[in-house]
Amino acid sequence: MTQNKANGFTLMEVMIAMAILAIALVAVFQLQSQSISMSTDSRFMTTAALLAQSKMVEVEAGSTLVSHSEDGDFGPDYPQYTWHLEVGDTQLPQFKKIEVTVTNKLFISGGTYKLVLYKTTGM
CATH code for the domain in which residue 56 is found: 3.30.1300.30
- Weakest-pLDDT range from 2-16, 84-98, 103-117: 2-16
Task: Flag whether 104 is in a domain.
Answer: yes
Name the 3-class secondary structure at 70: strand
Task: Flag whether 98 is in a domain.
Answer: yes
8 Å CB contact between 121 and 63 = no
Say how many domains are in the chain.
Answer: 1
CA-CA distance, 14 to 9, in Å (whole number)?
7
Confidence of residue 17 (pLDDT cuts 50, 70, 90): very high
Mean pLDDT of the chain: 89
Residue 71: domain span:
11-120
Q: What percent of the chain has pLDDT over 70?
A: 93
Q: What percent of the chain has pLDDT over 90?
A: 66
The β-bridge partners of 120 are 95
Task: Flag whether 79 is in a domain.
Answer: yes
Task: Check residue 123 and give its pLDDT.
Answer: 57
Name the 3-class secondary structure at 103: strand
Task: Check residue 85 and give its pLDDT.
Answer: 95
pLDDT tens readout for residues 23-72? 999 999 999 999 998 998 899 999 999 999 999 999 888 767 888 899 99
Q: Which residues contact 24 (CB under 8 A, 6 or more apart)?
A: none
Pick from 57, 116, 64: nearest CA to 86: 116
8 Å CB contact between 102 and 113 = yes
Task: Flag whether 6 is in a domain.
Answer: no
The β-bridge partners of 44 are none
